């Protein structure tokens, strides 16, 4: 894939460039701020961008705002966001629209090279990849919301893994149950979250994200 990186830490940025190049990806640009990222996307038309949430000059939400602008102006470009901590507001904002081709990982996950590359490939293919810790904390915000409170413990386990972008087969393997059992749980939680009418892959993640702003 053609990957553009946006990370203000020179050490991490150069390390990612080397890793991605060794894995056979092309990195036409690696920048250190949000404005440069948007300009690089306009010039190089990448398949995916990997962007830190906090970058110069204020180190608040420059990366996120750039990611949202890219999603708006170039909807075909996938976005994988990296963050030092779980930024609940930022994660919710990024994930509250179309969640296909979107990922949100904690930087600690980058150190686990296999997990990072798997997330990159998943997002690049149009799927979703959300850090398990991000999902856990976002779900914690919704414990008082009635629709989620109706889910069984097993349905919540399935829901968390769905939000991470796992397929039914992967969920079944993770929970040590049959795939048909997972499919029953998925259909049940869709009914409880009133998402049965939705279609396509996106409802798998919307099942988690639909209530995040409550």
More confident residue, 191 or 176: 176
Rounded distance between C-alpha atoms, residue 54 and residue 22, angstroms: 27
Same domain? For 207 and 126 the reply is: no
Output the domain CATH number for residue 197. 1.10.10.10
As a whole number of angstroms, the distance between CA 169 and CA 178 comes to 8
pLDDT of residue 146: 56
pLDDT digits over 128-164, tens only? 888 877 777 766 655 455 567 778 889 988 988 887 7
Residue (of 83, 85, 92) closest to 62 by Cα position: 83
Pairing verdict, β 78-83 and 26-31: unpaired
Range of lowest pLDDT (10-14, 26-30, 79-83, 134-138): 134-138
Taken in order 60, 136, 142, 214, the sign of the CA dihedral is positive
Give the model confidence (pLDDT) of 159-189 as tens digits.
Answer: 888 877 788 999 999 999 999 999 999 888 8
Among residues 34, 26, 44, 27, the alpha carbon closest in space to that of 8 is found at 34
Q: Are residues 166 and 107 in the same domain?
A: no
Same domain? For 17 and 109 the reply is yes
Give the domain extent around 203: 153-213
pLDDT digit string, tens, across residues 67-114: 989 988 999 999 999 988 776 666 677 766 666 888 888 888 777 898
Do 76 and 101 fall into the same domain?
yes
Number of folded domains that form the chain: 2
Give me the numbers of helices (H) and strands (E) for the chain, helices first please.
12, 6
- Residues 66, 122, single domain; the answer is yes
Same domain membership, residue 118 and residue 31? yes
């Amino acid at each position: 894939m053609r990957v553009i990186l946006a990370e203000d830490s020179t050490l991490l940025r150069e390390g990612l460039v080397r890793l991605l190049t060794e894995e056979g990806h092309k990195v036409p640009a690696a920048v250190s701020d949000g404005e440069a990222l948007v300009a690089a996307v306009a010039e190089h038309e990448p398949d995916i961008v990997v962007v830190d949430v906090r970058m110069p000059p204020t180190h608040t939400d420059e990366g996120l705002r750039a990611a949202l602008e890219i999603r708006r102006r170039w909807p075909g470009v996938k976005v994988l966001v990296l963050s030092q901590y779980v930024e609940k507001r930022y994660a919710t904002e990024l994930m509250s629209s179309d969640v296909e081709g979107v990922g949100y990982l904690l930087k600690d996950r980058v150190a686990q090279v296999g997990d990072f590359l798997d997330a990159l490939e998943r997002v690049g293919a149009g799927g979703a990849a959300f850090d398990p810790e991000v999902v856990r904390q976002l779900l914690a915000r919704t414990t008082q919301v009635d629709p989620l409170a109706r889910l069984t413990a097993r349905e919540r386990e399935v829901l968390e893994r769905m939000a991470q972008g796992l397929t039914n087969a992967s969920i079944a393997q993770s929970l040590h149950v049959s795939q048909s059992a997972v499919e029953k749980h998925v259909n049940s939680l869709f009914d409880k979250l009133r998402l049965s009418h939705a279609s396509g892959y996106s409802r798998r993640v919307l099942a988690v994200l639909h209530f995040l702003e409550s």
